[in-house]
Amino acid sequence: MTSQKSKSPSTPHRPSQGNRDFRNRTKRSGKPTDRQEKGEQGNTPRGAPQLQVGDATAQPGIILRAGREKSLLRRHPWVFSGAVERIDGAPHSGDTLPVRDAAGNFLAWAAYNPDSQITARVWSWREEEVIDAEFFRRRISTALEVRRALLPRPPAGEGRGEGMNNGARLIHAESDGLPGLIVDQYGDTLVMQIGSAGAEHWRDAIADILQELCNPACIYERSDSDSRGLEGLEPRNGVLRGALPESVGVVEHGLRFKVDVAAGQKTGFYLDQRDNRALTETLAAGRDVLNCFCYTGGFSLYALRGGAKSVLSIDASGDALRIAAENLMCNGLDAMRAEWQEADVFQALRKLRDQGRSFDFIILDPPKFAPTAAFAEKAARGYKDINLLGFKLLRPGGLLATYSCSGGISEDLFQKIVAGAALDAGVDAQIVHRLHASADHPVLLSFPEGAYLKGLVLRVAG
């Protein structure tokens, strides 16, 4: 058989033999109000594509148009609907199918989704590989091993070293060979987010494997991101295994953060900024800091611990700000130096400018403005606006830490936008740091979309 059509996830498909003779075959405006995802993989243009149905009695498979196999040969894991010549057999969404070039040569095993502009997402490039529960155990084990080997583990029993970090992204979707699957760890709670029909098909098997390999108290499912709709999947939010602890938290470089896994944004916390938050701590001493889009206070707490003179934090979400205030208290940080403001950053920055306020260090970490390149122009206006205002509010010699988590905005384009903002603000600025997501968000070389988060720390001339 060549697909998993109507098979349960525990029933493996077997690679086909001798069938090489096949002959035929991100909502975001410039002013977003939430940040379900930070531009991560899984964003597709809207609307179900029109796919050509092939021979329903043939072995199920995806046959590409002549010449459209090139991206797969470069090991990019997505098959766009426009590249598909026809679908043979009568496969269901989530089935594993062979993808073949126009001459019938095998290219990959991929999860089929007729409702998405991404018709298939590749599980494996090896024809002999069987996509079954064992396949997922291997991929998940490898992802866990990468984190074990690469994440800094401070020595136990050394003051702040002990228990310094207990959060990590354990599985980063395409970049870990598991398209559409995100798993974040907060202590002994795992939060799983499924954003593709293929991962949805294997949901229970994946949960069992995570339970077995990680033994968490709870696996919570937050499959309610915007991109699920684009994949034709219903939102889901609830406990998958175990019981949700009364309070979930994460320790990051010794700072404790409460994580609202059920109602918070994304999976509850933005693990991707861990290293960049730590950098903020080293830059904050003696400075008046403005943290825009502060969520539950990540950058603010680091800045306070780093000795900032004052930290004004702004976010549109009252819920996030309430947690931020709790986080401040439970870390024993000086509340006198912290001010929280519930506001739209676009308006708040203008107000601060009109009031003649100024800062030594400004952090801009907005939600994704461009889920795909199609939104890039509109998003660019949003980035230009806040960065221009940021530059204007900086004192001479001040620092701007500015981020984009838009998959649709390249690093190069982001730098150009920021350069344009500095020019219009009439300031000269130098890049002192180029930043990305932490090491638990690896980027597959063949999948540059995985590098969604980019940041610059700039120093304006004194």
Residue 41 buriedness (CB in 10 A; 0-12 / 13-18 / 19+): buried
123 Cβ neighbours under 8 A, 6+ residues apart: 96, 108, 109, 110, 111, 129, 131, 135, 177, 179, 198
Q: How far is the CB of 160 from ligand SAH (least distance, A)?
A: 20
Map residue 302 onto helix, strand or coil.
helix
Q: How far is the CB of 456 from ligand SAH (least distance, A)?
A: 15
Concatenated DSSP letters for 80-125? EGGGEEEEES-PPTT-EEEEE-TT--EEEEEEE-TTSSEEEEEEES
Q: How far is the CB of 296 from ligand SAH (least distance, A)?
A: 6
Q: How far is the CB of 22 from ligand SAH (least distance, A)?
A: 46
Q: How far is the CB of 233 from ligand SAH (least distance, A)?
A: 23
Closer residue to ligand SAH in complex, CB, 124/300: 300
Of 374, 386, 371, 370, nearest to 422 by C-alpha is: 386
User: Total number of residues binding ligand SAH (CB under 6 A)?
Assistant: 24
Q: How far is the CB of 89 from ligand SAH (least distance, A)?
A: 43
Q: Interface with ligand SAH includes 85 (CB under 6 A)?
A: no
Residue from 25, 35, 169, 201 that binds ligand SAH (CB under 6 A)? 35
Residue from 22, 295, 361, 383 that binds ligand SAH (CB under 6 A)? 295
For ligand SAH, which residue has the nearest CB?
298
Q: Interface with ligand SAH includes 63 (CB under 6 A)?
A: no
Q: What sign does the CA torsion over 137, 436, 195, 80 have?
A: negative
Q: How far is the CB of 248 from ligand SAH (least distance, A)?
A: 15
Q: Which stretch binds ligand SAH (CB under 6 A): 30-38, 63-71, 121-129, 154-162?
A: 30-38
Q: Interface with ligand SAH includes 132 (CB under 6 A)?
A: no
* The token pair that represents 58 in the structure block: 């043939």
Q: How far apart are CA 401 and CA 126, in angstroms?
A: 43
H or E element that contains 339: strand 338-342
Q: How far is the CB of 269 from ligand SAH (least distance, A)?
A: 7
Q: Interface with ligand SAH includes 293 (CB under 6 A)?
A: yes
Q: Interface with ligand SAH includes 454 (CB under 6 A)?
A: no
Q: How far apart are CA 442 and CA 450, in angstroms?
A: 8
Q: Interface with ligand SAH includes 34 (CB under 6 A)?
A: yes
Q: How far apart are CA 236 and CA 272, in angstroms?
A: 23
Q: Interface with ligand SAH includes 189 (CB under 6 A)?
A: no
Closer residue to ligand SAH in complex, CB, 83/386: 386
Interface with ligand SAH in residues 344-373 (CB under 6 A): 344-346, 365-367
Of 191, 203, 211, 233, nearest to 10 by C-alpha is: 203
Whose structure tokens read 């001339």?
A: 461
Q: Interface with ligand SAH includes 42 (CB under 6 A)?
A: no
Closer residue to ligand SAH in complex, CB, 427/457: 457
Of 405, 403, 444, 455, nearest to 173 by C-alpha is: 444
Of 117, 110, 114, 122, nearest to 92 by C-alpha is: 114
Number of CB atoms found within 10 A of residue 333's CB: 20
Give me the catalytic one of 218, 292, 294, 405: 405
Interface with ligand SAH in residues 310-349 (CB under 6 A): 315-317, 320, 344-346
Q: How far is CA 410 from CA 369, 403, 418, in A?
A: 12, 12, 12
Q: How far apart are CA 216 and CA 432, in angstroms?
A: 40
Q: Interface with ligand SAH includes 273 (CB under 6 A)?
A: yes
Closer residue to ligand SAH in complex, CB, 63/453: 453
Q: How far is the CB of 340 from ligand SAH (least distance, A)?
A: 12
Q: Interface with ligand SAH includes 31 (CB under 6 A)?
A: yes
Q: How far is CA 62 from CA 79, 96, 275, 296, in A?
A: 9, 10, 41, 45
Q: Interface with ligand SAH includes 270 (CB under 6 A)?
A: yes
Whose structure tokens read 């819920």?
A: 319
Is 405 catalytic? The answer is: yes
Q: Interface with ligand SAH includes 265 (CB under 6 A)?
A: yes
Residue from 123, 220, 299, 340 that binds ligand SAH (CB under 6 A)? 299
Q: Interface with ligand SAH includes 220 (CB under 6 A)?
A: no
Closer residue to ligand SAH in complex, CB, 94/382: 382
Are the C-beta atoms of 346 and 386 separated by less than 8 Å? yes
Q: Interface with ligand SAH includes 398 (CB under 6 A)?
A: no
* The token pair that represents 394 in the structure block: 């900086």
Q: How far apart are CA 419 and CA 423, in angstroms?
A: 6
Cite the active site residues: 405
Q: Which residues bind ligand SAH (CB under 6 A)?
A: 31-35, 265, 270, 273, 293-296, 298-299, 315-317, 320, 344-346, 365-367
